[in-house]
Structure 1
């Protein structure tokens, strides 16, 4: 059986708000100096995997991260607003400590009173991923560059994990990635929160 498609979900590099533990949401924060260095290093590594298509959120921190991979590979970056981070409403810009003080009951559940419902995030992420997959060849690699919360719910959707159980997956660190591989009609998680190239795995027919 030939190799099947893979999707690599790549979180953007570090920003100043990441350092300050501020809720970014769809506020268009740029990468900081460390974030640019992270993206440059990761871009060189990921280029060796031979991506067939690169799609990214149009928010600057994700777009600039994707740009490092695009420059190494010579491939264009396609932007899709469906890959943006969850809209955080009035929470955007506050630190985790401030959110816990202002919304002590809502904060542990990430229940944003005027924010985007997580189900809506999952719907648009799932749709954006499938738009890109429709242009990814059999045996090919799709790279999706996005944001921490959006990526986790997108990965969960592909794996068939209910949105409310998405925290089964640990968070993605800045500029780290996860890899899913399609096998028959299902997706499997092969790497999560990785910062090094995946090791090849020899699979048996029933693995």
Structure 2
């Protein structure tokens, strides 16, 4: 087995606020029935990859999503507050339309006046992933269960993409995932916004 580590970043299942396009932030919203079904299906798929470590945000929508993988795999979930969604201040609970009407310029830039700075999100996400990797055996697979915005910032940090350029990574849909793998001294994006297991790829990119 290769001693090259992998990290799978998994977004939580659907919530009622996702359907209503409300800014969730760190508001502790439950999965809706479809979100539970998404998490059950994805958990069964991901269990076949035999992850070694599962770490999750302690917010219910991520913790419950992780629970489906935990039960399918027989590996317990460890919770890390560093994996929480970006704190949205006064934006939390408002719809995208309401945000565009009240803060048009700020909403276009996702610049939350009284919310958490993107750099702070990146710092804590990076630190949480490194803590998880510290518990993952050589060549193992770490699963990180978190939230849409936080995951994109975290993946960008791991890939060496600046916070300002994080939008080069497209959004991650509910209960979809992205995978990075270590190669020599850097991380590479192997999958993004996936919902099925990949076919093996055999190639030499040194050719």
TM-score normalized by the length of structure 2: 0.98
Distance 1:100 1:52 in 2: 42
- 1:196 aligned onto 2:196: yes
Q: Deviations over 1:116-148 (max 9, x none)?
A: 000000000000000110111111000000000
- Structure 1 stretches lacking a partner, 5+ long: none
Q: Deviations over 1:155-202 (max 9, x none)?
A: 000000000000000000000000001111110000000000022222
What is the count of residue pairs matched by the alignment? 207
Distance 1:79 1:170 in 2: 26
Q: Aligned residue for 1:79?
A: 79
User: Deviating runs (4+, > 4 A) in structure 1?
Assistant: none
Q: Aligned residue for 2:70?
A: 70
Distance 1:132 1:2 in 2: 19
Q: Aligned residue for 1:41?
A: 41
Secondary structure of the corresponding residue to residue 106 of structure 1: helix
Distance 2:68 2:185 in 1: 32
Q: Aligned residue for 2:16?
A: 16
Distance 1:41 1:69 in 2: 9
Secondary structure of the corresponding residue to residue 105 of structure 1: helix
- 1:88 aligned onto 2:50: no
- Structure 2 stretches lacking a partner, 5+ long: none
Aligned positions of 1:101-140 closer than 5 A: 101-140=101-140
- 1:154 aligned onto 2:154: yes
Secondary structure of the corresponding residue to residue 7 of structure 2: strand
1:77 Cα offset (Å): 0.2
RMSD: 1.1
